[in-house]
């Protein structure tokens, strides 16, 4: 059985709640992803997506340097444990239509599991593909 700890990314780039959304956007650009955890220390408070920034800041006509991450983030975060089965993590992504799940151990961020991480393991390719297609269906 493949565990989340076996596939997750351990070096997670995060923002603090009071960072400007431009800081989150730069991380997304630099590591080519669409969401960033918002953390106070190692505690996950929320997730901010590129879509959150566009809809809640740019489309509203606000200056991205003046809007903080906590103003745009989603506070109800789906997380998993490093000891969870990677199959279950793929199912969670599909069920919640998300592509990245923060990995939390005893209340602290220890990694992040992206749909691409699951696709790197042959046994998970079908599940990751199904999760991605279910996520994509929701976007249209």
Per DSSP, what are the bridge partners of residue 9? 112
Q: Cα dihedral sign for 30, 64, 53, 58?
A: negative
The token pair that represents 25 in the structure block? 């956007």
Q: What pLDDT shows up at residue 134? A: 57
Q: What is the mean pLDDT of residues 67-94?
A: 94
CATH superfamily entry for domain 4-139: CBS-domain (3.10.580.10)
Q: What single-letter DSSP state applies at residue 124?
A: G
Q: What is the mean pLDDT of residues 103-118?
A: 94
Percent of the chain past pLDDT 70, that is, above it, reads 86
The better pLDDT of the pair 98, 18 is held by: 18
Residue pair 93/77 in contact by the 8 Å Cβ criterion: no
Q: What is the mean pLDDT of residues 79-106?
A: 93
Q: What is the pTM of this model?
A: 0.84
| Segments making up each domain of the chain, as ranges | 4-139
Greatest Cα pair distance in the chain: 48
For 9-57, write each residue's pLDDT tens digit.
999 999 999 999 999 999 999 999 999 999 999 999 999 999 999 999 9
């Amino acid at each position: 059985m493949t565990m989340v700890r076996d596939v997750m990314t351990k070096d997670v780039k995060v923002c603090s709640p009071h960072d400007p959304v431009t800081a989150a956007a730069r991380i997304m650009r630099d590591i080519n992803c669409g969401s960033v955890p918002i953390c106070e220390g190692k505690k996950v408070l929320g997730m901010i997506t590129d879509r959150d920034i566009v809809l809640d800041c740019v489309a509203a006509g606000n200056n991205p340097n003046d809007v903080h991450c906590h103003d745009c983030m989603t506070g109800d975060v789906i997380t998993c444990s490093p000891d969870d089965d990677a199959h279950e993590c793929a199912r969670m992504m599909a069920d919640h239509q998300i592509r990245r799940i923060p990995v939390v151990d005893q209340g602290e961020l220890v990694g992040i599991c992206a749909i691409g991480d699951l696709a790197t393991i042959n046994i998970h390719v079908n599940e990751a593909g199904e999760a991605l297609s279910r996520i994509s269906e929701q976007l249209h």
